[in-house]
Chains A and B, each alone.
Chain A
């Protein structure tokens, strides 16, 4: 599913954010990525959907080598990868329904299909009744659920979540985790960068710890491992 081989990334300001990543992630796995801020978590994640390109090494996602992928092919890669952000990235002028439908419109999905899929994912995240509201009429947790719904609406094989609970209170965070678990149980690979120690230690999954651009720990059913 995902394979990184000797991946290095140096930014133009000289920072080495990736210092030889070697990782193999199987289809359907749930992986936490932990580590202090600025350790290279975001780079690790951004390279998987080609927001960043590695300086050296190969990254293979769904059988495609991202290091060699042409810019013009990147959109087609992203149609198989859902991304969830800490700040939700919803469009404030569109309703919840429109925000999710947007992801299908830009890939030119058939209107009938769009309606069906959007209602399905809204049902999945339990927000069907709020479809016509605007994002700022919803709570943070609800907005994040919309963002997750958008990320899975085109049935990707991989969902990447960059600190999805970072802006949410503990209780709402559990709701979000339930949804991500749900997605994972359907066979989708989920990779989640997080600072939430409680979640990592409670819902046990594989943990990859990154420090100074290196993977310092990679264990199945691991712990958060940092004092917070």
Chain B
């Protein structure tokens, strides 16, 4: 197709948007609402995902060694833990180090215990897949010289289940919303097409190709999608900006973090825009199809 023809298609698509003012408004609002919901869901879901990963990363088994365990036996236990499949790392921390950590976290009052340290020497074991944590803990607790293998147990398992489920629910909702928007755009464009049925018929009769007829409508759908994504992008950006400013200071030094404002917000906005374009273009493509059979 010639460049001049693309110019024509562009002009036609803009003209049509102006000519169908109210329908344009209706479908742009439909896209706006949908993309806003999708955008908010996406921000929530991606952050939840981040938090989930942070929590997962922080899940560890603390293997408390019996007081007075021989050095040789400690090495033996270290070796045995390393051999368990699914273990990512094993770290030794003496009771002195443990106390220092405690003091750092909870304050100088705990220095009192330096006289008579009540803590155990520990191995900190991390699993490759956090869901294996329970199995590893059970295994390790059987070893001689191990007093106890601790992890969050039931609480952590329930958390994993909840996270998994909410991820799936969010995904289903997003897909559902996208389909609704596509349907709405497709219907709007169908109305503008019905009004231009005669024009399409004549175009086809004088020898226009299907793509020649389609292009202006697809472009029109594209503009509707882009127009519809402006408000969601603006709202999601400002919304996340304030949420980020509010939440970030409260999570200082915490192992759980939300996603940084940039580049995250650019990625989300890019996705919103992309979805707007896709549902617009695809919606109009679907609705022109029927009218091309002349």
- Partner-B contacts on A (CB < 8 A): 49, 51, 72, 75-79, 83, 89, 91, 102-103, 105-108, 111, 150, 154
Contacts and interface: CB of A to CB of B under 8 A. Distances in A.
Given A76-B207, A83-B205, A107-B207, A51 B294 contact: yes
A154 B1 contact: no
Contact of A108 (B4, B198, B203, B205): B4
Interface of B: 1-2, 4-5, 8, 198-199, 201-210, 212, 294
A49 to B, nearest CB: 8
Contact of A106 (B2, B198, B206): B206
B202 A89 contact: yes
Given A51-B294, A89-B201, A91-B202, A106 B207 contact: yes
Contact of A72 (B2, B8, B208, B210): B210
Given A79-B207, A108-B1, A108-B2, 20 more contacts: A72-B209, A75-B207, A75-B209, A75-B210, A75-B212, A77-B207, A78-B205, A78-B206, A78-B207, A83-B205, A89-B201, A91-B199, A103-B207, A105-B8, A106-B206, A106-B207, A107-B208, A108-B5, A111-B4, A150-B206
8 contacts: A72-B209, A72-B210, A75-B209, A79-B207, A91-B198, A106-B207, A106-B212, A108-B5
A107 B206 contact: yes
Contacts of B199: 91
B208 A106 contact: yes
Nearest to A151: B206
Contacts of B212: 75, 106, 108
Contacts of A49: 205
B4 A103 contact: no
A77 B209 CA distance: 11
Contacts of A103: 206-207
A23 to B, nearest CB: 22
A89 B208 contact: no
A51 B210 CA distance: 14
A138 B199 CA distance: 19
A185 to B, nearest CB: 23
B198 A75 contact: no
A79 B198 CA distance: 18
A83 B205 CA distance: 8
Nearest to B292: A71
Nearest to A82: B206
A78 B204 CA distance: 8
A102 B206 contact: yes
Contacts of A108: 1-2, 4-5, 212
B204 A75 contact: yes
B1 A102 contact: no
A30 B176 CA distance: 60
